[in-house]
Amino acid sequence: MLGSLFSHQSILGTRIDATSYEDACDRIQTWCEQNLSCYIVAANVHVVMTGYWRKRYQRIINQAKLITPDGMPLVWGMRLLGMRRQRRVYGPDLMLAWCDRAAQLNIPLFLYGGTENTLQKLKFNLLRQFPDLTIVGTYAPPFRSLTPEEEARDRAMIESSGAKVVLVGLGCPKQEEWMSRQQGLQAVMIGVGAAFRFHSGEVSQSPRWMMQMGLEWLYRLVTEPKRLWRRYLINNPSFLLLFGLQVLHQKFKPVKNF
């Protein structure tokens, strides 16, 4: 895959898979055809560091069927660890790539997360961009923790819609925990984080040149400082330190003679 000898790398204990947009869409298509119940995580530094501090959450991430390198620091990390050709597979872009594939194949989608207003604008924008896309349902759950009865009701609603793929926009770590609890739902669940807010037009995305330089975090910090300062000003330096130690450990790890 991607010309690499490896299928994945471990970064601070979180598995990151070798993939691309086309490969990820191929996999999702296959899993839909197989009626497989599974979930996909788009991992960035925030996801990896949350998993590093919270091992239960890390287990949830690592049980995903596919974990994409959503952030450039993870892409650079994979390259340092031997996956020289790995590129970014960014959650919001993967969402659009899948919508394009789903429109071509008439695979029905369900949008779960955000607010009702966000979902209305998101659905309008997606159908304008992909006129043949089939969106069979949307739902904005309460921001509080759901009761088991509410989750069972939501699951029944999604199943009755006939959706083959559920795009989940609840944010980290809530969306990964929710998807893990819904295993058995006959659909592929894709955690897309802030993609709902981006593609609805409610929040602006970083310029592409900043994304390519790994500076998207700075753009988001400037635009949403109260909400994101802790994530970036604590997680980012911690990641650089801990991953640097991982690389040094692997570089100087003694080679066993057999």
Tens-place pLDDT, residues 112-137: 999 999 999 999 999 999 999 999 99
* pLDDT-flagged residues of the chain (< 70): 1-6, 254-258
Average pLDDT, the chain: 91
Instruction: Return d(Cα 185, Cα 248) in angstroms, integer.
Output: 42
pLDDT of residue 255: 53
Phi, psi of 219 (to 5 degrees): -60, -45
Q: HSE, CB side, 13 Å, CA atoms: give it for residue 257.
A: 0
pTM of the model: 0.89
| Residues pairing with 168 in the sheet | 112, 191
Strands of the 66-69 sheet, one edge to the other: 66-69, 38-43, 188-191, 165-169, 109-113, 135-139
Instruction: Return d(Cα 220, Cα 171) in angstroms, integer.
Output: 15
User: Where are the chain's structural domains?
Assistant: 8-251
Task: Please give the helix or strand (H or E) that residue 110 lies within, else none.
Answer: strand 109-113
Whether the link from the prior residue into 173 is cis, omega within 30° of 0, is yes
Instruction: Return d(Cα 234, Cα 106) in angstroms, integer.
Output: 43
pLDDT of residue 48: 97
pLDDT of residue 4: 42
Phi, psi of 247 (to 5 degrees): -65, -45
Q: HSE, CB side, 13 Å, CA atoms: give it for residue 26.
A: 6
- Write down the H helix ranges in the chain: 21-33, 45-53, 55-62, 72-80, 91-105, 116-129, 148-161, 174-181, 195-199, 208-212, 216-223, 225-251
pLDDT of residue 1: 43
Instruction: Return d(Cα 112, Cα 96) in angstroms, integer.
Output: 16
Phi, psi of 256 (to 5 degrees): -80, 135
What would the pLDDT profile of 43-69 be if each residue is shown by its tens digit? 999 999 999 999 999 999 999 999 999
